[in-house]
């Protein structure tokens, strides 16, 4: 089987440039044949979706994306792909609780891995976590990519608002979950009960630096350390 680094190159996935690939490989290389159910929020044309299909040979890979055009383009690119029978696509808005709950009603829980690589706003990250963390199986992982949007250096990125007035930064929220403290009891998007459930059912929560300096995403020339987090479910 190809390594994850080889697959990121094969499918032109930005995880390698962002510095995420070594973390994924370290965590999943030893269990890649045991993983059976993966959800990725944010699909676009499906480059990383196809990567995960090949990397996890026994898993159904679920994709969740707001853009119909991206879902259509993904299916065009998938024509003739022998892994297509292990791919499920769902069109929905990750900051819409009804869409997230509809997804779960259709496809259930017990996910080995859920990856939030969606719109990267505080609202999207926290609403999605609040609904989907419960769907991770015991010992599974909930992952949030591109936490550099929490840096506070800007309120907009990728051409839209990522931090609204009064928002708790998701990185601060994750630190509170890691420490299991009461410094953050609720946010604009997470009730105390939901946040207590997440804290009580998290074995570990770590935030990692991908690359100290990364320039230009989708034409935007910014410099930042890239970041992602890994939460292991109790």
Q: 158: pLDDT confidence band, cut at 50, 70 and 90?
A: low
Catalytic, 120? Answer: yes
The per-residue pLDDT of the chain, averaged, comes to: 89
Residue environment code for 149-166, b if the CB has 16+ CB neighbours within 10 A, otherwise e: bbbeeeeebeeeebbeee
Phi, psi at residue 222, to the nearest 5°?
A: -120, 155
pTM for the whole thing? 0.92
Pick among 3.40.50.150, 3.40.50.2000, 3.40.50.720, 3.40.50.1220: CATH of 4-233: 3.40.50.150
Q: 155: pLDDT confidence band, cut at 50, 70 and 90?
A: low
Q: Which pLDDT value is given to residue 215?
A: 56
Residue 151 has pLDDT above 90, yes or no: no
Nearest residue to 19 via CA among 218, 228, 219:
228
The percent of residues above 70 in pLDDT, for the chain, comes to 85
Q: Which pLDDT value is given to residue 214?
A: 58
Of residues 49, 120, 141, 148, which has the active-site annotation?
Answer: 120
Got the DSSP string for 26-77?
HHHGGGTTT--EEEEE--TT-HHHHHHHHHSTT-EEEEEES-HHHHHHHHHH
Phi, psi at residue 160, to the nearest 5°?
A: -145, 165
Q: Which pLDDT value is given to residue 218?
A: 53
Domain ranges of the chain: 4-233
């Amino acid at each position: 089987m190809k390594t994850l680094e080889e697959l990121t190159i094969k499918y032109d996935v930005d995880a390698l440039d962002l510095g995420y690939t070594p973390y994924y490989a370290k965590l999943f290389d030893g269990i890649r044949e045991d993983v059976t159910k993966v959800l990725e929020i944010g699909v676009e044309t499906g480059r990383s979706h196809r990567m995960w299909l090949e990397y996890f040979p026994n898993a159904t890979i679920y994709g969740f994306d707001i853009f119909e055009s991206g879902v259509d383009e993904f299916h065009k690119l998938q024509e003739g792909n022998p892994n297509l029978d292990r791919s499920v696509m769902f069109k929905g808005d990750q900051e819409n609780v009804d869409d997230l709950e509809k997804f779960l009603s259709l496809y259930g829980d017990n996910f080995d891995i859920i990856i939030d690589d969606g719109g990267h706003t505080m609202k999207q990250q926290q609403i999605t976590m609040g609904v989907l963390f419960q769907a991770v199986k015991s010992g599974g992982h909930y992952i949030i990519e591109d936490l550099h949007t929490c840096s506070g250096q800007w309120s907009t990125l990728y051409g839209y608002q990522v931090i609204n007035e009064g928002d708790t930064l998701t990185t601060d929220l994750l630190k509170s979950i890691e420490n299991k403290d009461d410094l953050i009891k609720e946010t604009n998007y997470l009730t105390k009960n939901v946040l207590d459930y997440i804290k009580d059912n998290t074995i570990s929560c770590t935030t990692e630096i991908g690359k100290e300096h990364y320039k230009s995403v989708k034409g935007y020339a910014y410099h930042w350390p890239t970041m992602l987090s890994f939460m292991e479910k109790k």
